[in-house]
Amino acid sequence: MKLITAVIKPHRLDEVKTALQDFGVQGLTVTEASGYGRQRGHTEVYRGAEYTVDLVPKIRIEVLAEDADADELIEVLVKAARTGKIGDGKVWSVPVDTAVRVRTGERGPDAL
């Protein structure tokens, strides 16, 4: 199994969610996050005082996938999240030892 984590622009969440559902993903977790990449932050002005805001709002998506599906899922996710502008985010995956469905106690791929 793989844990796929994506940090994306907040306004792309709906597209990504729909694309993943169409792909067959049964569940995912979404967290509001802050961060920056090459895009860095932006500048805000309050009564003439300029503040550089380093951390911009992002959405972090976590989804578990079987090894065989992982690459294709990442592709679907990246395509849905892309706007082509700086600040689109990152996606990465890591191997997962085990997963348990809390309700039934099923383990491994059965738990997905």
Binding test (CB under 8 A) with other proteins, winner from 27, 38, 48, 102: 48
Letter for the amino acid at 1?
M
Q: Is residue 94 a contact residue for other proteins (CB under 8 A)? A: no
Binding test (CB under 8 A) with other proteins, winner from 14, 22, 44, 62: 44
Which CB atom, from 45 or from 94, has the smaller least distance to other proteins? Answer: 45
d(CA 5, CA 8): 10
Q: Is residue 32 a contact residue for other proteins (CB under 8 A)? A: no
Tell me if residue 105 falls in helix, strand or coil.
coil
**Residue (of 76, 65, 98, 67) closest to 23 by Cα position:** 76
Q: Is residue 53 a contact residue for other proteins (CB under 8 A)? A: yes
Q: Is residue 71 a contact residue for other proteins (CB under 8 A)? A: no
**Residue (of 83, 58, 62) closest to 17 by Cα position:** 62
Binding site for other proteins (CB under 8 A): 44-53
